[in-house]
Amino acid sequence: MDILKERILQEGRALSETVLKVDSFLNHGVDARLMYDIGTYFKEYYKNHGITKIFTIESSGIAPTVMTAMQMELPMVTLKKQSSKILNGDVYQTTVHSFTKGSDYELTLSKKYISPEDNILVIDDFLANGEAALGAIRLIEEAGAKVGGIGIVIEKSFQPGRAILDEKGYDVYSLARIGKLGKGIIEFI
């Protein structure tokens, strides 16, 4: 997606070999027009996959997921990262390690938002080591549902996440694939 790559080059900041900051348009300040365009790309790619619901992990994946769900006219579900007094009992949970934050969290899905008949599209802002996507997949498959695809806004292709998901047979579609990061260096595949 050329417009996304342009924004990454113009406004993104490579802080290290693994950290890309894109907070001006994706995960702090949000460019709604860009999110709408991102939703269009995901809709076009996954329109014939029989998707029934679209999932994301709070919070940075919410904006592109809302736009995709709106355009595909499908329900959207946000997987929760934090403990909640409201979400207890009838939930699926799995532990996910965040390399960015250097800590583990419990990913939670209420059982009322998924059924074995569902074919889920998972959308996330970044793919690096694949931990978040694998956590979402565990919850979906524990519920007996199917993962119909994994949509990624920005993939760090030099990290193992893509290879892990490909090896497991998931249909991963990334809008921008970064081949190399370094302080002040952003190179696409």
Residue 129 is assigned to a ligand binding site: yes
Residue 131 is assigned to a ligand binding site: yes
**The pair of three-digit structure tokens given for residue 93, joined into one six-digit string:** 């949970």
Residue 156 is assigned to a ligand binding site: yes
Q: Report d(CA 22, CA 25) in Å as an integer.
A: 6
Could you write out the DSSP letters of every residue in 63-97? HHHHHHHHHHT--EEEEB-S--SSS-SSEEEEEEE
Residue 44 is assigned to a ligand binding site: no
Residue 145 is assigned to a ligand binding site: no
CB proximity list for 135: less than 8 A, separation 6 or greater: 57, 79, 94, 95, 96, 107
Residue 29 is assigned to a ligand binding site: no
Q: Report d(CA 162, CA 52) in Å as an integer.
A: 24
Hey, how many other C-beta atoms are within 10 angstroms of the C-beta on 144? 11
Residue 69 is assigned to a ligand binding site: no
**H or E element, residue 185:** strand 185-188
Please report, in range form, the residues annotated as the binding site. Answer: 20, 27, 128-132, 156
Please report, in range form, the residues annotated as the binding site for xanthine. Answer: 20, 27, 156
Please report, in range form, the residues annotated as the binding site for 5-phospho-alpha-D-ribose 1-diphosphate. Answer: 128-132
